[in-house]
Structure 1
Amino acid sequence: MPVYTVHAPSPAGADLRATDKFVFVRDGFHFWAMVFGPFWLLWNRLWLALIGYLIFVAAFNAGLSSLGIGRSSIFFADLIVALLTGLEASSLRRWTLSRGKWRQLDVVVADDEDTAERRFFERWSQKQHGIVNDQWAVDRGGPPPTRHTPGQQFSNPPPIPAGGIIGLFPEPGGSR
């Protein structure tokens, strides 16, 4: 099962107003980061990682070609760099988030991101005590009224209409 890390936008931002900004980062191999490395870094707005990737690949290829290594060997070396990019893509996202003053709140194990969100928020909401200005919580009062409790509003069934039973069957237990 995939493992997700949950990140909040700031140290003080882990409250109800910031829950829509929480980021779930899946740990593991990212295929599209391996295949389209620079474009994946652009898509995920990992600017420093993109600059570092481009500088590293350019210097790496220049160094290999200056050593007289053939094009096919440089191609296979670039494949290894792409594979490492796919393996470390989630670490690059977490590193970028930590540089932006985000903090890691939790680690969640789930099949997909929706399940990870549900599991995280179930666990996280139980830990939140004394939530201030919660507009969504409603005090519903006591249990719903029942028909068998004397003195309650719905304790007696409604009266039968004067003309008998209304509907398709005018007599109780009659033929269809």
Structure 2
Amino acid sequence: MPVYTVHAPLAVGRESVPATDRFVFVRDGFHFWAFVAGLIWLIWHRLWLALLGYVVLSIIGEVTLSLLGAGAGIRIAVMGLFALLMGFEAATLRRWTLSRRKWHQIDVVAAADEESAERRFFERWTAQRSAVNDLSATDRGAPPPTRHSPGQPFSRPPSGAREEIIGLFPQPGASR
């Protein structure tokens, strides 16, 4: 089953949540059209720096192969391998461009197609937003919750647990 990464732009101004119609789903895996027509695929997805790198590497490859006196079969094989690399790394180039544009990866979804991935993501996202009402909770860079929150059942260790700990834990109040 394909895996999709979900990317969202930064919230602008007073918005705490970015516009959900701008979320981008990037499928991981081999992209056939990037393999067959890499130049057009890069233009279609507006990956301008990747397009520049693609053109520069293609020119360098052709010039190098012509200086080495390689035949037509070798040139086709090398450019075919370059196109194969483009097909495999197309999703990585999209993610890299989105991160350069200050977009955040907010989730990973496994689904059969992009529509199913969107449905699955938004079902989970709306349930989480209604429970927490905070987008930063889905941000993978957020610190973990603290254990000493008042009113939480797991805040206080069981009585006598400090003396019974076995292992390489530091003793409370001991020098390090």
**TM-score relative to the length of structure 2:** 0.70
Alignment match, 2:4:
4
1:99 aligns with 2:97: no
SS in 2 for 1:10: coil
SS in 2 for 1:29: coil
SS in 2 for 1:106: strand
Which segments of 5 or more consecutive residues in structure 2 lack a partner in the other structure? Answer: 135-176
User: Aligned-pair distance for 1:126?
Assistant: 1.5
C-alpha contact 1:5 1:26 (8 A) present in aligned 2: yes
Amino acid at match of 1:122: E
Alignment of 1:155-170 (within 5 A): none
SS in 1 for 2:94: helix
User: Aligned-pair distance for 1:130?
Assistant: 3.7
SS in 1 for 2:25: strand
Alignment match, 2:87:
86
C-alpha contact 1:41 1:47 (8 A) present in aligned 2: yes
SS in 2 for 1:7: strand
Aligned residues between the structures: 130
Q: 1:14 to 1:51 in 2, by over 3 A?
A: farther
Alignment match, 1:63:
64
Deviations 1:68-108 (A, max 9, x none): 11121011100000000000000000000000000000000
CA distance in 2, matches of 1:94, 1:44: 11
SS in 2 for 1:20: helix
CA distance in 2, matches of 1:20, 1:100: 17
User: Aligned-pair distance for 1:40?
Assistant: 0.3
CA distance in 1, matches of 2:133, 2:39: 45
Which segments of 5 or more consecutive residues in structure 1 lack a partner in the other structure? Answer: 132-176
CA distance in 2, matches of 1:7, 1:14: 16
User: Aligned-pair distance for 1:11?
Assistant: 6.0
